[in-house]
A and B are shown apart, each in its own frame.
Chain A
Amino acid sequence: MALYSEKVMDHFRNPRNVGVIEDADGVGEVGNAVCGDIMKIYLKIEDGTVSDVKFETFGCGSAIASSSMATELIKGKPLSDALKLTNQAVTEALDGLPAHKLHCSVLAEEAIRAAVKDYYDRQGIAYDPKDFPDCGSCEGCHR
């Protein structure tokens, strides 16, 4: 069996929503160069809805595919839905990821949360910080 599902390879080869939103309402970046993956998500929010989303990713095939799928899953959705996106949902939509690549889907979930948090900060919208844990819990950031 191939390392990646056809879905993963499709989103890796033809990533959706790659790029930058210059006048983004929220930007989130997670991961670090030491670990070998960084994801950056740009959100455009209109009337509480994700009207546009773009990503940039430094990372492996599954990191790029996870970013692509995650942006597809939240595009056009209410912000509340975007916040509920889990790494499991990203993984399932990709027809699965190898066990040692699951962190890529976690990164995608966290990048979106980080972008929403940035949007809340900019708008002065109150939120519970516990809803926005960062990815700094893994050992990679502490080397």
Chain B
Amino acid sequence: MIYADNAATTQMSGAAINAMTACMRDTWGNPSSLYGLGQRAREALEDARERIAACIGASSKEITFTSGGSEADNQAIRSAALLGSRKGKRHIISTAFEHHAVLHTLKKLEGEGFEVELLPVGELGTVTADQVAEAIREDTALVTIMYANNEIGSVLPVPEIGAVCRERRVIFHTDAVQAAGHLPIDVKVQNIDLLSLSAHKFHGPKGIGVLYARQGIPLSNLIEGGAQERGKRAGTENVPAIVGMAAALEESCGHLEENAIRVSALRDLLIGGLSQIPHSALNGDPVNRLPGNVNFCFEGIEGESLLLLLDDRGICASSGSACTSGSLDPSHVLLAIGRPHEVAHGSLRLSLCEQNTEADVDAILKAVPEIVGYLRNMSPLWKDKAGRKKKFVL
């Protein structure tokens, strides 16, 4: 099997599995309990918190454990919105291609009287700090802009956006779910006030994530109950998952540069090879790009068919077609960068990690052109374009 869907989830690392199993076996107490077993769990929890904080340049008091990236996004945005509204600020700036955890939360806030401004992301799929600076108003409560896009891999100028927000004294949240463990993050240097990350995107376990909130930014609860996480997130801590996340993040951050060099070399081989397919186009920023992300549109075919046939050859990938999104519309990200519906239906995302090899790339570069050719050969849309009855878009 060739696993090329690391943006969806990653295989857990040995270090993470070992840390978790040891924790489940030996340190299974409740961190809130007074006796030794509980206190050892508390120590494991706080040790993980410190190590995770160190990976992103934060202090451990600024780390809140959540059930994952979506919860962290929800809580970050809701907290900032509440802080803003107390001062009469109800304007929120974001982008058109955020993750649904952000967009759907913003949609709800719109219904609650907030004004949400989604910045256009252009053909490359990015925004500039200038765009953000121009959009900020006196009543702006929050800027929430992702660190890197999960579908098309664009890496956004987060440090520059952070600097603008700090200067204008607006809270800045970044959804760093695709960036953590893959790109250098330093919340202090990069002027990030709130940041979300998710363990299973960097070889950690599923169902666990982090909300970093700069000291001085009070969080409001999504989940009420006990006093865990300084009272900001109730529920007995998932200590094994937290310990596994710490192990995975440390490992990823410890090899960040070498992994990025290795993976981006594979990525560029894939991009070069797939670019040879006629009437195809790379999606996302070709330069400022996640090391592992490859995203193409192939004209005249539909993405789900491509995925199923790749699966038959043991290749795991994903697509932004409507049929894979479960709705009538293809990916909002591809539409946001201006791809027309018919082209967006024919998208393919391959997301690599450091475990992928050149042999994987070779196999993908053999399979994709063959399958695209096969599907085009039975596509009346492709035939109409090839026969010049319809115009090519790409």
Q: Chain A residues in contact with chain B, CB under 8 A?
A: 9, 12-13, 15, 18-19, 29, 33-40, 56-64, 100-101, 139-140, 143
- Verify B323–A36 contact, CB threshold 8 A: yes
Q: How far is the CB of B298 from chain A (nearest CB, A)?
A: 12
Of the candidates B300, B301, B326, B342, the one whose C-beta lies within 8 Å of that of A34 is B342
A60 to B308, CA, bound (A): 9
Is the pair A56, B378 in contact by a Cβ cutoff of 8 Å?
yes
Dominant SS at the B interface? Answer: helix
Q: Contacts A36-B321, A36-B323; is A15 near B378 (CB within 8 Å)?
A: yes
A143 to B341, CA, bound (A): 10
Question: Do residues B342 and A60 form an inter-chain contact, with CB atoms below 8 A?
Answer: no
Given A12-B308, A139-B328, A60 and B381 contact (CB-CB distance below 8 Å) = no
Instruction: Give 10 pairs: A residue, B residue, CB < 8 Å, sorted on A.
Output: A12-B308, A29-B380, A33-B345, A36-B330, A37-B302, A56-B380, A58-B380, A60-B302, A60-B304, A61-B304
Assess whether B380 is in contact with A57, with CB atoms less than 8 Å apart: yes
**A-side contacts of B302, CB under 8 Å:** 36-37, 58-60, 63
Cβ of A133 to closest chain B Cβ, rounded Å: 20
In angstroms, Cα B302 to Cα A12, docked, is 13
Asked if residues A38 and B341 are in contact (CB atoms below 8 Å), the reply is no
A35 CA to B342 CA in the complex, in Å? 7
Residues of A within 8 A of B210 (CB): none
Whether B305 sits at the interface, judged by CB under 8 Å, is yes
Which of chain A's residues have a CB closer than 8 A to the CB of B305?
12, 59-61, 63-64
Q: Which residues of chain B are near A56, meaning CB under 8 Å?
A: 378-380, 383
Q: Give A56 to B385 CA distance when docked, in angstroms.
A: 14
Question: What does the 1/0 interface line of B292-322 toward A look like (CB < 8 Å)?
Answer: 0000000011111100110010000000011
Partner of A58, one of B308, B309, B326, B381: B381
Q: Is there an interface contact between B378 and A33, defined as CB atoms closer than 8 Å?
A: no
Q: When the two chains form their complex, are residues A100 and B326 in contact, meaning their CB atoms are under 8 A apart?
A: yes
Which one of B341, B345, B378 has the highest number of Cβ atoms from chain A below 10 Å of its Cβ? B378
Evaluate contact between B378 and A36: CB separation under 8 angstroms. Answer: no
Number of chain B interface residues as a range = 20 to 34
Q: Which residue in A15, A36, A64 is a CB contact (below 8 Å) of B342?
A: A36
- Determine if A61 and B308 form an interchain contact, defined as CB atoms under 8 angstroms apart: yes
A54 vs B328: C-alpha distance when bound (angstroms): 27
Docked Cα-Cα span, A19 to B383, in Å, equals: 11
CB within 8 Å of A: which residues of B?
Answer: 300-305, 308-309, 312, 321-323, 326, 328, 330, 340-342, 345, 378-383
B300 and A58 within 8 A (CB): yes
Closest to B323 in A: A60
- Best-buried of A59, A62, A63 by chain B (most CB within 10 Å): A59
B328 to chain A, nearest CB (A): 6
Cα A64 to Cα B380 in complex, Å, equals 12
**Nearest-Cβ distance from residue B330 to partner chain A, whole angstroms:** 7
List chain A residues, Cβ under 8 A from B383.
Answer: 56
The minimal Cβ–Cβ distance linking B39 to chain A, given in whole angstroms, is 45
Give the residue name and chain of the A residue nearest to B327 (CB).
A100
Residues of A within 8 A of B340 (CB): 34
Q: Say yes or no: A58 contacts B304, CB within 8 Å.
A: no
CB–CB A60/B321 < 8 A: yes
Q: Contacts A29-B380, A57-B379, A100-B326: A36 and B312 contacting too (C-beta < 8 A)?
A: no
Contact of A38 among B309, B312, B381 (CB under 8 A): B381
Contact A58 B328 (CB under 8 A): no
Known: A12-B308, A61-B308, A139-B328. A36 touches B341 (CB 8 A): yes
Beta-carbon contact of B342 and A33 below 8 Å:
yes
Q: A36-B321, A40-B380, A56-B383 provided; 6 other pairs, C-beta below 8 A?
A: A12-B308, A29-B380, A33-B341, A34-B341, A64-B305, A139-B328
A97 CB to nearest B CB, Å:
12
Shortest A127–chain B CB gap in Å is: 24
In the complex, what distance in Å separates the CA atom of A136 from the CA atom of B340? Answer: 20
Tell me how far the C-beta of A128 lies from the nearest C-beta in chain B, rounded to whole angstroms.
28
Residues of B within 8 A of A33 (CB): 341-342, 345, 381
A39 to chain B: which residues have CB within 8 Å? Answer: 380
